[in-house]
Amino acid sequence: MDHESSVQNLVCPRGVTIRIHRSGQTSIQIAFPYKGHYCREVLKGREATKTNIRFAADLVARIRSEIAEGSFDYLKHFPKSKRARAILGRGATRTVSELLDDFLVEQVKCLAPSTVAAWRSMIEERVKPGVGHHFVRDLTTSQIAAWLMSAEMRDLSLKFVRNCITPLRRALFSAVHAGFRAENPVSSKSLSVKECVSKAQWDTGWKPDPLNQEEIDTLLTACETPATRNFFIVAFETGLRTGEMIALKWKNISFDKRHLTVERAIVEGYEKSTKTLAGCRTVELSDRAIEALRDQLDLTKHKVRVFCHPKTLLAFKNSREIYAIWQPAVRRAEIRYRCPRQTRHTYASRLI
């Protein structure tokens, strides 16, 4: 007796059928009525054998019993079922990844492009791999806590972890508002992010670590071009944020009054208002800053912006491009590495 004949001789109870594919392989399909629909689902990885048919019969009986009791959870039995999605609706079958995608689309309308870009990066690189596969309706606080304590999140600063949680928390608040779930499992009442992060991660990485005068002089001497040196002299002497530095225009400079006006910043390629209302300010210029700006005037007086990339001679697009001129200078200076943000901290420490 060949395989197909032996399969045909198998007896299937009610709600269980055998499917024979063109390849000759077999599979088992079960059927049951649910919410006015006649549902069919294939049992993945189970060929037609007496043992698997008994398993299928028991599953059909269990499903019918759960439906009668009102405890049947379609998605727990068949997480990838298209039929379940059609019957239950999108709200009941949305994954956290899908929720976050829709959330970001809405945030584009009301948030700064730089914020949306930062959130998208954290969502794609951290949140989705961690909890994106869960259904929105099933996500629990304990699952989120386990993700935060996992090896993938262990070496991140507390500040960065909190930044990852922010878009997830807001997206889940929208899910609660839409009626997809009753509560937010990552609300501040439900979850303490700090308790999920080791003390070694509590250092945010943003602590002031100013350069001393000897280090400043050594760094400036190690700058590869006059334009690079002028940029960092002004940064050390004014305390401007990197985004404010690259947005600075010649119209903001007054040599006669010995000050500059901070009005705008460049973040992720977009020109925007300063980080805070207090960010719009007038900064007095030291002799050293004026000298550097006069030197820079010889290089970029024909341009709108004061500073440009010393190699491309184009306006800086974002703060990341500053690292490309800062890091080589630090290496050549052979001083302890700090990020360009420390120019601002150095300025502040000298005022104290």
At residue 322, what are phi and psi to the nearest 5 degrees?
-70, -35
> Which pLDDT value is given to residue 344?
94
pTM of the model: 0.54
Average pLDDT, the chain: 88
Structural domain containing residue 60: 3-88
What proportion of the chain, given as a percentage, has pLDDT over 70?
92
Q: CB 89: neighbour CB atoms within 10 A?
A: 11
Do residues 280 and 244 both lie within one domain?
A: yes
Let me know whether 108 and 178 are in one domain: yes
325 belongs to a structural domain? yes
76 and 100: one domain? Answer: no
Look at residue 78 in the predicted model and tell me its pLDDT: 87
pLDDT tens digits for 198-257?
A: 876 676 556 788 999 999 999 999 999 999 999 999 999 999 999 999 999 999 999 999
- Name the domain boundary from 170, 201, 232: 201
**47 found inside a domain:** yes
Please state which of the ranges 8-22, 264-278, 319-333 shows the lowest mean pLDDT: 264-278
Judge whether 100 and 123 are in contact, CB under 8 Å.
yes
Co-location of 103 and 75 in the same domain:
no
Q: How many residues does the chain have?
A: 352
Number of domains in the chain: 3
What CATH number is associated with residue 250? 1.10.443.10
- pLDDT, tens digit, for every residue of 137-148? 889 999 999 999
Domain's final residue, options 56, 88, 120: 88
Tokens of 86: 């059609």
Question: What's the confidence (pLDDT) of residue 53?
Answer: 92
Clarify whether residues 234 and 255 are in a common domain.
Answer: yes
Residues 125 and 252 in one domain: no
Comparing CA positions, the residue from 170, 181, 165, 186 lying closest to residue 123 is: 165
What is residue 270's DSSP assignment? Answer: E
Alpha-carbon gap, residue 236 to 211, rounded angstroms: 10
Do 60 and 7 belong together in one domain? yes
The CATH number covering residue 174 comes to 1.10.150.130
d(CA 265, CA 282): 14
